[in-house]
Amino acid sequence: MNTIAIASSPVITVPKLGLVCITASEQVRYKALTRKRLLSLQPQEQQRVLRELYAENLKRFNNAIAFCHTHNIRLYRITSALFPFADDPLGEDILSEFTEQLQQTGDRAKNLSIRIVVHPDQFVVLSSDKPDVIENSTKILGLHARIFDMLGLERSPWAVMEIHGGKSDRAERLIGVIRNLPENIRSRLALENDEYAYSAAEILEICRAAGVPMVFDAHHHVIHEHLDSYEHPSVAEMLAAASTTWPDPQWQLVHISNGSESFNDPHHSDLITVMPSAYRNAPWIEVEAKLKEQAIDKLRTEWLMER
């Protein structure tokens, strides 16, 4: 956590703001590939295309790390589609060819003090009633854990993998599934409250029971609770409670977004114009705004300067 000591004044904590996946400019972008396109190719051609795609996206990942370093951004959420189809046998073998390069990339991020996290896609539902959905969700999480292992990232919530609770009213199922996850997944897993299925209070209790941290999202909280301000006392209360679920409170990660058309609009706005005052106590903040780095710059020059 950054700290600024001013004469004999108390130490001031400065939250670190994180970049989510890509930039508003073209500086950080990734290549994609559809399953239909991949399956239309002959096996040898599939290998060539995936190999080239993985090499290109790894290059772009390194460019993202360089961008974050240049702009003094210390948190980067990688895209969940960094290596498409790497959870399939073909992709698994191709990804193995990049073991050395991935280790070098991970070392680079560490040396530049850039924290790497990921938010796996919406298909991860550990609370599903269907065993095949849980199996596929675990497979997806396993891929991200493998990538983090190849990057040499810690098996701890420092290199956190954030997911939502999934199907509502399945707390016991969710807790049981989490407890039985492989160690390289469980040691990095965190749960985030959402707008509809799981309130912040519900996710907090699940996290405590499962022994994983809670990523608090203030915007999801105000939507779920039908609040009209980030200054409602429950925002600060939930932020403080979520902090207790992290093995080191200075690792606590939170999300911020604003509604696009209204305060309670679940769609994200371009910039962040309203911040919870309680978030001045949040060590790490992922900025979930459409204009990405522009939103971070605005928060730095306006919100962080309002002391």
**Nearest alpha-carbon partner for 163 in 191, 128, 203, 200:** 191
Q: Output the CA torsion 20→25→27→30 (10° steps).
A: 60
What angle (nearest 5°) sits at the alpha carbon of residue 270, between those of residues 264 and 275? 55
- In this model, does residue 3 exceed pLDDT 90? no
pLDDT of residue 113: 97
CA distances from 52 to 57, 62, 67, 124, 181 (A): 9, 15, 22, 27, 32
Under 8 Å CB-to-CB from 233, ≥6 apart: which residues? Answer: none
Mean pLDDT of 269-290: 97
Question: What pLDDT was estimated at residue 12?
Answer: 56
Residue 261 reports pLDDT greater than 50: yes
User: Is the pLDDT reported for residue 6 higher than 60?
Assistant: no
pLDDT for 169 beyond 90: no
Please report how the helices 43-70 and 89-96 are oriented relative to each other, as an axis angle in degrees rounded to 10: 50
What pLDDT, on a 0 to 100 scale, did the predictor assign at position 7? 40
Whether residue 179 has pLDDT greater than 50:
yes
- pLDDT for residue 10 is more than 90: no
pLDDT, residue 1, reads: 45
Question: Mean pLDDT over all residues of the chain?
Answer: 94
Decide if pLDDT at 41 tops 80. yes
Which stretch of 51-60, 119-128, 174-183, 210-219 has the lowest confidence by average pLDDT?
A: 119-128
pLDDT at 158 over 50: yes
Please say whether the beta carbons of 126 and 189 come within 8 A.
no
Mind listing the pLDDT tens digit for each residue in 49-87? Answer: 999 999 999 999 999 999 999 999 999 999 999 999 999
pLDDT at residue 252, rounded to an integer: 98
pLDDT of residue 168: 87
Report the pLDDT value the prediction gives residue 47, as an integer from 0 to 100: 94
pLDDT digits (tens, 9 = 90+) for 100-153: 999 999 999 999 999 999 999 888 999 999 999 999 999 999 999 999 999 999
Q: What is the pLDDT of residue 4?
A: 38
Share of the chain above pLDDT 90, in %: 90
